[in-house]
Structure 1
Amino acid sequence: MQEREVVQRNLALQRQWYGEPLGDRVRRLVVAYRTSQAQLAEVLGISAPMLSQVMSGRRAKIGNPSVLARLVMLERKVFTPGVAAGESEAVRQALEDVRDSRPALGRDSMPVRQVGNSEEVVRPALRQIAQPHELEWAADLLDSYHPALAGLLRRAASGETRAEDSRSA
């Protein structure tokens, strides 16, 4: 099999296993944490060449589950208020916390895709990164072009749930 075919096969496997190519996920983290790929590899506990191979599709998977757990931890910490605001101390602390972590994994401890009502996850995350008046302001801006998104922002601002949320509880 030629290298190009191997890369395409590996990227397809990454989409299947991880929801999208790992290169896309890692690049977002490099931008969000304003760090280099090599520094990110060190935080994850993987060599820089290995991370490069996974990102490019020359390797299909991250073989060490702790490395994958740290990747997910970094993805989740992007939504903490200080990191989301780009505060250098918060970013440094998040990277340090993840680097020093020793995640224990079980079969069901790290779902790749969110199960259930994703709005239940999004509303609290929005409330963590913006004040209610800021969410209302953003909703007003989006209302004429994206009314569903504006509604989500308003529900997050008020703390209310949608009718179907309360019925399913």
Structure 2
Amino acid sequence: MTESSNVQRNLALQRQWYGEPLGDRVRRLVVAFRISQAQLAEVLGISAPMLSQVMSGRRAKIGNPSVLARLVMLERKVLVAGVVAGDADAIKQALEDVRSSRPSVGRDNLPVSEAPGEAAAWPVLREVARPTELEAAAALLDGDFPALAGLLRRAAGAD
């Protein structure tokens, strides 16, 4: 199998396992937190070369469940009001919270959702922000990320 076909296979596996290629998820975090890929790797507790391999599809998965848990934690912190607003102190605190966390994944704390589609994201969004904050975040994202802004609005108004 050629390297190119290996990468394509790994990216397909990432879509299946994680919902999308990990490179897309990581790039959003780098932009949202205004940090380098190497800084993100340090926050997640993974080596920069390993993160690069996962992002490029040369590796299919993040093998350490704690690293994956930190990635999800950081994705959730993107929606904290101060982070959305670009407040440097809020961004620094969010990164430090994740860096210093010691998540464990077990049968009692594995987040499992049976809600279909985007409705699965609504409880998580509501957990980190009030409806007014979700609306404000949507307004900030409208120009560059209209689909995400729509998701936030639907989460804010969903019953």
State TM-score, norm by structure 2. Answer: 0.78
What secondary structure is seen at the aligned counterpart in 2 of 1:46? coil
Residues 123/77 of structure 1: CA separation in 2 closer, same or farther (3 Å cut): closer
Residues 96/128 of structure 1: CA separation in 2 closer, same or farther (3 Å cut): farther
Contact 1:84 1:129 in 2 (8 A): no
Unpaired stretches in structure 2, ≥5 consecutive residues: 143-149
1:25-82 CA-to-partner distances (Å, cap 9, x unmatched) read 0000000000000000000000000000000000000010000000000000111111
Q: Supply the distance in 2 between the matched residues of 1:155 and 1:35 (Cα, whole angstroms).
A: 28
The code of the aligned residue for 1:121 comes to: P
Q: Which has the larger radius of gyration?
A: 1
Counterpart position of 1:21 = 21
Counterpart position of 2:40 = 40
Structure 1 residue 121 displacement after superposition: 2.5
Contact 1:69 1:110 in 2 (8 A): no
The code of the aligned residue for 2:123 comes to: V
Q: Supply the distance in 2 between the matched residues of 1:54 and 1:25 (Cα, whole angstroms).
A: 11
1:78-131 CA-to-partner distances (Å, cap 9, x unmatched) read 1111111110000000000100000011246134xx532447527733626257
Write out aligned runs for 1:74-153 (5 A).
74-107=74-107, 109-111=110-112, 114-116=113-115, 117-118=119-120, 120-121=122-123, 124=126, 125=129, 127=131, 129=133, 153=153
The code of the aligned residue for 2:19 comes to: G
Residues 59/155 of structure 1: CA separation in 2 closer, same or farther (3 Å cut): closer
Residues 35/128 of structure 1: CA separation in 2 closer, same or farther (3 Å cut): farther
Contact 2:83 2:91 in 1 (8 A): yes
Give aligned pairs, total.
144
The code of the aligned residue for 2:111 comes to: M
Contact 2:74 2:94 in 1 (8 A): yes
Write out aligned runs for 1:68-79 (5 A).
68-79=68-79
Percentage of matched positions with identical amino acids: 67
Contact 2:134 2:156 in 1 (8 A): no
Q: Supply the distance in 2 between the matched residues of 1:6 and 1:101 (Cα, whole angstroms).
A: 33
The worse-fitting range, judged by mean Cα deviation, of 121-130 and 87-96 is 121-130
